[in-house]
Structure 1
């Protein structure tokens, strides 16, 4: 037991006191939030000068409660960071580990939004209705994508107990259809307990041109060619905590720092990439061997651990051509640079806390990944991730054209499957595979040196992402709330890790844990893991039906990398664990299982809310912007008409009328040098432009684009015809169209083309229209 947590007076430890008051002055019940103020006294005195006012009621954190810094990197597997034997130099994580503790059996859910919901709540992901990402939510409990009111996140608990709270970076826990001016905003960060939010919504963003919100307000990015969100969010976090400490140094803070790094797109400044030149020419097979050797030497992997086999279908490095190897090596150079760049920015934040004198009083959790490294980039990687999402291959030759600018603003890249598996060493699988530690095991460092006796050591207790909240609550001496805003709360399911701080042999509190995502499922119980690999993360179809899945059995205490299947030797144990999985999965709303993935991106198929459900027409006007694909009428794979009424200046004007998407896929109706135009940008591979030959007259005009879709399936061609004041002025054939998605992070905008442009030169800054869009209507069949 950590004695330093017990030195506070008993009343404070139980959360009975407000800072600076004694027991007779206040008797706080922190299990019911918000904390109820005392009854207001009644006065009979007429003159206020003859009476004493009551002591002001104010909720403050328990005396001596530490600051909390929670850092979560994105899409980084166990074998990436130097701290856990990987090839990416991460000096900040190394430094914190050397004076903190490395946890080498810490687990996530295998995907970002489910992990983050569990991280902030202490409850399993299906209990949060986050069985997958919100973009693939369904109608079933456990998968609706809407976090229920009976689960209050740690941000809200700490805020209501006297903490300042802030989140910077990625927020993927808000339902995709709720991210619009219409809301509902109940599940936006600033209404879920964060005083400050500066970041982006969704699974990923263009780091060079993100859509950022400050609270609930979109941010105009600076006109800076060197802008990168990783640096921007760090600057904002340092500014916030500096200001908070200057104004209220006695008030602890909770800072959740969640970069988009190292999720695709892998965007990093060129000078960071240059640091890794030539360091991956040996290929992924050799890298796996090198990483395992370093892991064993560091003690984060036991002696004798075997390297698990690569998944079937992944080529040996030596079987690739010279050109393929050159391209592939570049991808890993960029990924490793992204990891080091992000970690170095985190170092600036940590250094700022040190300079304020707050680092030693800050409980730091640095989690190197919310799941295993992503294997969603395909066999050879992609220069534009939306090609793989839409099922369109890229050739090696085409990708090599981007060799020099890979990772820069003109690419939206992801790396090949082989690098993902190498980044998850010593395991077989990767992100999305919830039934393998390659998908769920992530390195974690906890730093709070004044409360550790074993700094620099490794802790090997089984731990899960749900364990972070109870650890924070025990460290801050704040009890678990049973009631928040009048709603009884689901009990926290994680177990505190405090007992492991001073005792490497402390018994793990987390004895049982289920895993499930898209049909990949497993159950851990007292050292044993029963699992089935149901679906490969890059495949559109499962390996077998749910009923016919083949289960395996592993003794994880003696088989760190899951290489020795004991199913045939212990069939009774396997059967018992399979039955336990069904029992635990049912209790956590993980049943029934929906193993569809791409189909679930269609709201109609999945059964989740759709703002445009049943709509065949949408009318917008000037200034309406930042509409994501889940908040905009769907024009893909169907005929449609765009009709705009505009008022143009005497020169005919320049700029966007209505655009959706951006540089890496989308379309735009605009005016260039006074001439109405329409461009369809097919995955940054082919742009088709339909344009008038004559300038518009000054004043009002009607512009219409008829998009006549071929039909016969998804992603087919179309014919576009442009009309000006009811006269056809141009027509063109569009050979191919995007079938599934234009962009995960770019939006539809009226009068401007935010973030990256569909058309590289509109003749105006950001494509801002120099005239006025009176209204624009999209009608779909």
Structure 2
């Protein structure tokens, strides 16, 4: 049956006026039809979708966890908890699925954008056969806005020259304020307003979380003031609680001593509360700790305060995020529209992040660049008070991540098991949903959100968009379950796959196989044919604790065949667990923005991310610039800088002299200054870094030149092998964000002379072929 609801064809074709026309408008007897802006049906609600980042099922107090989340509890008390709601186990795929209503491989997001290949399921470019939900709503008369994280932009389109086809502003959102990529520093974020990069605020008390809440509140107030007859769709995806775990100290103080009991005892406590809340079955079994994760009792006593502090900071970050999310909810209430707004509060886009390693990370870049040996217990203790602050880029131990996924097995990245894919979700809509404070156990997936919104708004899922026939959405509307706790579930089959971790859900049964372990960067993933499948009857085994594969091989085979069918339907094949090929754009087959071995820079070119700028790692390089020094000879600030406090380098001027600074993971620094000032007038200045070779991440010698004359030498002992930063960038004439060099005499390293141009040139001694591709892939995954 054809859908006769509004919006089945978008854009709605313009209809030419066919009535009488007069030469003189004053003599026209007929009236032209009035201009009527698009509006959805009268019952269409405001919609607020809240998506937190890297939060496991067992973290929030709303689902039995140890972290106080009063906003989530408030909405759950007035609405519904969905205890069997699922994501894809990684951020980019989940977000692409949420906004499209389609499975992630079907919209080209089988993995993160940084690993895109030309295979249909892994291109990271949404096909034109899958118009996203915000564009459908916008063309039907909604106001649309996104605040926070967008990690769906192909890396070669993430630069300031676009194209911007896959940015929020071209994907249906009339307003975007946030960041592009997997993570950002919460104190100096890489902010985008619309399509334009903007400098982070200079307020020393600034934090991204309240800023995003402020911007969302301002938007809703303005929208309700100017166009109250239009409903809004606001997507609030703050990026919290993804690393870095940054949060003000007074919030951390709330959790002092709360996690001294350790992760094993914490899992037991959370498990008991989850049963009391009814968000897991009363007869559920707590799954075992994975092999390779230490028992808390086996952790050295001297290390326990460090590990406990990591968790205190994370807990504070989640409560802080929930608090500022609550301010957005309060604003809706003040505007008297809370009751009529459909709210989805999805507590995590995947399971808790296991990317911090067994010991956690003070500077997450150490896990990617071989600097972990510097983060000793003594180092941690010396810097413990800085964890969570702007001088750290911290992440907790993987054992805490596992505990935050209680009661399930595994964590983020493991799409096969519920620890990676089950996220507590709350639906709040008092004017429409009569039930209050109830739990819904119907099985659902993030692809169900878009069909639900269209259903309750009375809008059609368009079968044609811009003249292109659309692939139907794969999700189902959840509205049938709003007022009927016993309704038969309608999402009966769902596949999962991520880097070979894969599984299938079908009518209460799950067949799953874990192909690789997130925190294991040593072992190579086996051939797919060697993967061992498990079978669970989740109608009686809520937590996937009792493997029935040996007892029911026929059922397992049935589900394995079903996985193959679903995977083939949705572009999962060829499954891709490659490392070298996917991390090298030339081999992977994806475009790169900058080509060649030279990059010419001009003032104002800032925040060029590492997927946009030229790669100087594991090789010799030089930076040359033409500058004009004021007549008095004074000169300060960065000529070219890359990275930030977590690692990077700066070619700069200080007290009129020329300088080069290398910052290794924020842990080791070296500075070279010229013997004499540059001098007034126009000069060509240059730094040459001669890489030692013999492997990756090695040291090198520094030589400074003024007008071709060597004026200073220095030494760097360690360099970054893989990444400087995932949110800082390469800047010309300044050092935006957290500085790579802490010694600037001017704010933001602003260059005080005249910078004509600068050029980064690579040497021929490229050692990137020695980079372990598996380690390179793991480094990328640590920041997603």
Q: TM-score range by the shorter chain?
A: over 0.9
Check conservation: 1:101, 1:454, Cα contact below 8 A.
yes
Aligned residue runs from structure 1 range 275-314, under 5 A:
275-314=254-293
Q: Distance in 1 between matches of 2:617 and 2:97?
A: 34
Corresponding residue for residue 512 of structure 1:
493
Structure 2 distance, partners of 1:730, 1:396, is: 37
Q: Which residue does the alignment assign to 1:585?
A: 567
C-alpha contact (below 8 Å) 1:37/1:57 kept by paired residues: no
Conserved 8 A contact 1:532-1:550: yes
Is residue 32 from structure 1 mapped to residue 9 from structure 2 by the alignment?
Answer: yes
1:396 is matched with 377
Aligned to 1:50: 27
Distance (whole Å) between structure 2 residues aligned to residue 348 and residue 253 of structure 1:
18
- Aligned-partner Cα distance in 1 for 2:59–2:193: 31
Q: Would you say 1:469 and 2:444 are equivalent positions?
A: no
Q: 2:236 — aligned with what?
A: 257
Aligned match of 1:19: none
**Which whole-Å CA distance do the structure 1 matches of 2:657 and 2:111 have between them?**
46
Name the SS for the 2:134 alignment partner: helix
User: What TM-score results when the alignment is normalised by the length of structure 1?
Assistant: 0.95
Q: How far did residue 146 of structure 1 move? A: 1.2
The aligned residue for residue 70 of structure 1 is 49
Structure 2 distance, partners of 1:488, 1:772, is 54
Contact 1:556 1:562 in 2 (8 A): yes
Q: Please name the residue that 1:26 is paired with.
A: none
Instruction: Say whether 1:761 aligns with 2:751.
Output: no
The answer as to 2:164 corresponding to 1:182 is: no
Partner SS for 2:495: strand
Q: Distance in 2 between matches of 1:608 and 1:718?
A: 32
Mapped to 2, the partners of 1:486 and 1:556 lie a distance apart of: 43
Q: CA deviation at 1:57?
A: 3.4
Q: 1:119 to 1:254 in 2, by over 3 A?
A: same
Measure the CA separation in 1 of the matches of 2:314 and 2:228: 38
User: What CA deviation, in whole Å up to 9, does each residue of 1:528-551 have, x standing for no partner?
Assistant: 111111100112344522111111
Give the TM-score, by structure 2 length: 0.95
CA distance in 2, matches of 1:141, 1:67: 34
- Note the C-alpha offset of 1:607: 2.7
2:467 to 486, 493, 510: 486
Asked if 2 retains the 8 angstrom alpha-carbon contact of 1:452 and 1:501, the reply is yes
User: Equivalent of 2:330, from 340, 347, 351?
Assistant: 351
**How do residues 217-616 of structure 1 correspond to structure 2 at under 5 angstroms?**
217-393=196-372, 394-540=375-521, 541-597=523-579, 600-613=582-595, 615-616=596-597
Match of 1:662 among 644, 648, 651: 644
User: 1:605 Cα shift?
Assistant: 4.1
- Contact kept? 1:180, 1:631, Cα under 8 Å: yes
Match of 1:642 among 623, 629, 632: 623
Query: Per-residue displacement from partner, 1:683-721 (whole Å, max 9, x unpaired)?
Result: 011111121021111111111111112223321222221
What is the 5 A alignment of 1:103-114? 103-114=82-93
Matches for 1:188-199 after TM superposition, within 5 Å: 188-199=167-178
Tell me what 1:736 maps to: 718
CA deviation vs aligned residue, 1:175-201 (integer Å, no higher than 9, x gap): 122111221111111111001000001
Measured in 1, the distance between the counterparts of 2:621 and 2:498 equals: 36
Q: CA–CA distance in 2 between the matches of 1:503 and 1:462?
A: 14
- RMSD, matched Cα: 1.4
SS in 1 for 2:212: helix
Partners of 1:294 and 1:170 lie apart in 2 by 31
Whether contact under 8 Å (1:653, 1:770) holds in the other structure is yes
Q: Is the 8 A contact 2:188 2:201 kept in 1?
A: no
Displacement, 1:741?
Answer: 0.8
311-320 or 364-373, which moves further after superposition?
311-320
The 10-residue stretch of structure 1 (734-743 or 80-89) with the greater mean CA deviation from structure 2: 734-743
After TM superposition, the structure 1 stretch with the greater mean CA deviation from structure 2, 595-604 or 356-365, is: 595-604
Going from structure 1 to structure 2, the CA distance change for 1:748 and 1:127 (only over 3 Å counts) comes to same
Whether the 8 Å contact between 1:14 and 1:477 is mirrored in structure 2 is: no
Aligned residues: 756
List gaps (5 residues or longer) in structure 2.
Answer: 765-784
What is the rounded CA distance, in whole Å, between the counterparts of 1:181 and 1:645 in structure 2?
24
Which digits, 9 at most, give the CA deviation of each residue in 1:362-382, with x for residues without a partner? 000000000000010001101
Q: Which residue of 2 aligns with 1:631?
A: 612
Following the alignment from structure 1 to structure 2, what is the Cα–Cα distance between the partners of residues 459 and 79?
Answer: 17
Cα distance in 2 for partners of 1:389, 1:555 equals 39
Residues 189 and 208 in structure 2, CA contact (< 8 A), matched pair in contact too = yes
Matching residue of 2:706 = 724
CA contact (8 A) 1:499 1:506 kept: yes
